[in-house]
Amino acid sequence: MRHTPEPAINPTAWAELRALGGDEADAMVAELIGMYQEDAAGLVATIRAAAAAGDAPGLADATHALRSPSATLGALPLAECCRLVELAARSEGLASAERIEPLLTEFERVRAALAQLALAP
């Protein structure tokens, strides 16, 4: 039996978000995607730097900051990766680069999914 990965963006959460936009859903979604991608790129750079420096508090803060907007956009697997890294950094003081690899992989899936969703009506 093959495991099918969870979509990078939860379709139900995405549909609910679009429904909030009503007649302006396309413009709202485009603006949200743009803001998210800009903010998230900076946070991921901070996550990488904190992990490379062994800065557990910095890693915890950056993953915490990325988690909420990711969940809002329906990037639930990424939000969960952020939660796990934040928890490890806060409770165990871990900030290793290996710890963040699943988060970085998931972030790339989210970026690709958002690029596709930005093109969809």
**Does the global pTM surpass 0.85?**
yes
**CA angle (49, 50, 56) in 5-degree steps:** 170
Contact 87, 106 (CB under 8 A): no
Domain boundaries, the chain: 37-119
Contact 104, 51 (CB under 8 A): no
Model confidence at 39, in pLDDT bands (50, 70, 90)?
Answer: very high
What would the mean pLDDT of 3-21 be, rounded to a whole number? 87
Contact 90, 67 (CB under 8 A): no
Residue 25 has a pLDDT of 87
pLDDT tens profile 41-94: 999 999 999 999 989 999 999 999 999 999 999 999 999 999 999 999 998 887
Closest CA to 59 of 67, 72, 68, 49: 49
Spell out where the chain has E strands.
none
Please name the amino acid found at residue 87: L
- Compute the distance between CA of residue 49 and CA of residue 43 in angstroms, rounded to an integer: 10
